[in-house]
Amino acid sequence: MKLYSEPEKPLILGVGNLLMGDEGVGVAAVRYLEDKGFADHAELVDGGTSGFHLLGLFRDRQHIILIDAATDGKPAGTVSFIRPRYASDFPPTLTAHDIGLKDLLESAALLGDLPEVDLITVSIGDLGLMTMELSHAVAASLPQIEKLVLECLEKTILCAAGR
């Protein structure tokens, strides 16, 4: 994990625990995007379950694309997109590390470092499976995540160009 930020680039931050299978989809998505060449257009960070250690990445950032798993009752592999304005706008069903993630966002807001956030979540089933593999349904969502990230990046580029 990088301990510095590249403020001129949007940040794509994947969070989750790779040791818990689908719960690590955010980290798996960052690795997938890295293989697809997205590092040329954004800073890609495997946030794991780091919580407050990620706060420095928010400083001077204009745009963050956050990717995480959600236990929201939807079928596994369902991809959702929201553009929350406040930490309280985040769905209450983010996975096991959600308290740390919400605290991180609230802290960034208090410090005046909360950038525009696009949140991509992937619905997962039960937590508790100790595996480093994504289920078929969740792994199949990676191309849809890629498409959403690309749309978010294109929007950022257009805004920066004043269009």
Domain of residue 133: give its range: 11-158
In a domain, 4, yes or no: no
pLDDT at 47: 84
C-alpha angle 151-155-160 in degrees, rounded to nearest 5: 150
Q: How many domains, the chain?
A: 1
b/e burial code for range 92-103 (CB count within 10 A of at least 16 → b): eebbebbebbee
The neighbouring-strand residues paired with 44 are 12
Q: Find where tokens 């403020």 sit.
A: 7
In a domain, 24, yes or no: yes
In a domain, 163, yes or no: no
Instruction: Note the pLDDT tens digit of each residue in 88-114.
Output: 676 655 555 555 566 777 777 777 767
> What pTM, to 2 d.p., does this model score?
0.83
In a domain, 63, yes or no: yes
In a domain, 44, yes or no: yes
In a domain, 21, yes or no: yes
User: In this structure, what CATH number is given to the domain that contains residue 145?
Assistant: 3.40.50.1450
Averages of pLDDT over each 10 residues, the chain, 163 residues = 56 88 93 94 85 75 88 92 75 56 73 81 80 92 97 74 51
- What distance in Å separates the CA atoms of residue 79 and residue 98, rounded to the nearest whole number? 17
Write down the mean pLDDT value for the chain. Answer: 81
In a domain, 6, yes or no: no
pLDDT at 160: 55
User: For every residue of the chain, which 3-state class applies, written as one string?
Assistant: CCCCCCCCCCEEEEECCCCEHHHHHHHHHHHHHHHCCHHHCCEEEEEECCHHHHHHHHCCCCEEEEEEEECCCCCCCCEEEECCCCHHHCCCCECCCHHHHHHHHHHHHHCCCCCEEEEEEEECCCCCCCECCCCHHHHCCHHHHHHHHHHHHHHHHHHHCCC
pLDDT at 87: 62
